Amino acid sequence: MDLYEKKQLRYKYIFISVMISCIVAIVTSSVTYMYCSRGSGENFFSFIGKRNTTADASSDETISAISESLKSFRSVIDNYYIGDIDETKLLDGAIKGYVKGLEDEYSEYMTSEEWEEYQTAALGNYVGIGIYMGTDKDGNTIVSSPIKGSPAEKVGIKTEDIIVEVDGENVLGVDSSLIATKIKGEAGTKVHLKVARKSEYLEFDVTREEIKIYHVETEMKEGNIGYISLLTFDEGCAEELKNAIIDLEKRGAKKFILDLRYNGGGLVDEALKIANFFIPKGKDVLITVDSNGEKVVTKTEEDNITDAELVVLVNEYSASASEILVGALRDNGKAKLVGTKTFGKGVIQNVFSLLDGSVLKLTIAEYFTPKEIKINKEGLEPDFEVKLEKAEKEEDFVDTQLNKAIEILK
């Protein structure tokens, strides 16, 4: 380890100590829209000792107990472990475990490398296989949609495939951001995926390549209806959608269908920008409540660009920023919802940067629709519930939800 790495590691230890001691103060003041001793288990634990922490211990007492426990474990490791020790990986693992102890599925610690990959994908370019991923009710990662023309689509990976293994490693229940890291790699290399589809398992060898993400897909439907599919709320998607609205209106669109099915969310700011395209200036679009119970109401800041009638398609995978957008549109009388009840992710995360580039993604607030309808763990019921019937053959599939939206607009 060279001098620079040692300095960075020392900075990280110092900063983590300060961060953990101050994290309560940071969270409550921040709201942003926007991660055997030689074979005997009993002897081992008696040697290390017991932690004297309780559920109501203070943060200082907890930090002290963790510090003492880590010192004891490290003593055993130094005396008995036969492998090499990577100090950075030990520290990263300790922090990940600490944050995981919150038992909040949306809070996580990311190393600088993981955060960089996360940001690269959000900006619309990365090397991988070309899939959007979401989470089902069981906590498993599914394919929300393969990107058109991507390696994943070419080999036959489909929407709602559950990712079971990546290169032979079981990833059921693993956070989708970690699975994404495993799937990405150098262009030209291959990744082996095992997925569950209905009652069978399928395996694919997929060659990675540079992927350019286009967030918006459009089509003109009969009856002067402009169809817009928004696949994710990554950076820049609002501008893409704005251009799509303008283009479709030039082509004769008088009404719109916005498809948010399988859209698992993303940047809240992008969702709020899109709400502004349909909702007049000065209207409530989002209510957030932080850990102190303080309420913040967000309003539209610009004039809307269209007054066209709108129907939004949703399903059980429409989550987070998708739910913010549909809640704002419906509560302001600007859209009807068609499909099935949404996922029910009604909390917002903020990202706190550490000195070495790693980040803490932390849940800091719960959000509600303008009419104060709770979303988290509840989801939003559609105005018209329409379920999709599965078809054995693709050519036999009928999109009953889309057909209902067209019927309503006609």
Active site residues per annotation: 320, 331, 345
- Mapped onto helix, strand or coil, the DSSP state of residue 207 is strand
Tokens describing residue 38: 């030689």
CA distance 366 to 349: 9
Tokens describing residue 316: 């059980």
Closest CA to 405 of 258, 192, 215: 258
CA distance 181 to 197: 22
Give exposure, 308-325, as e/b (b: 16+ Cβ within 10 Å): bebbbbbbbbbbbbbbbb
Helix extents (H) in 101-187: 112-122, 151-155, 176-183
Residue 121, judged by CB atoms within 10 A of its CB (0-12, 13-18, 19+), counts as buried
Closest CA to 156 of 102, 206, 101: 206
Residue type at 205 in one-letter notation: D
Residues near 137 by Cβ (< 8 Å), separated by ≥ 6? 316
- Mapped onto helix, strand or coil, the DSSP state of residue 16 is helix
**Three-class DSSP labels, 333-370:** CCCEEEECCCCCCCEEEEEEECCCCCEEEEEEEEEECC
CA distance 302 to 298: 12
> Could you give the dihedral angle defined by the CA atoms of residues 219, 225, 231 and 234, in that order, rounded to the nearest 10 degrees?
100
Residue 304: Cβ within 10 Å count: 17
Contact 376, 347 (CB under 8 A): yes
Angle at 144 between CA 143 and CA 150, to 5 degrees: 70
CA distance 377 to 351: 22
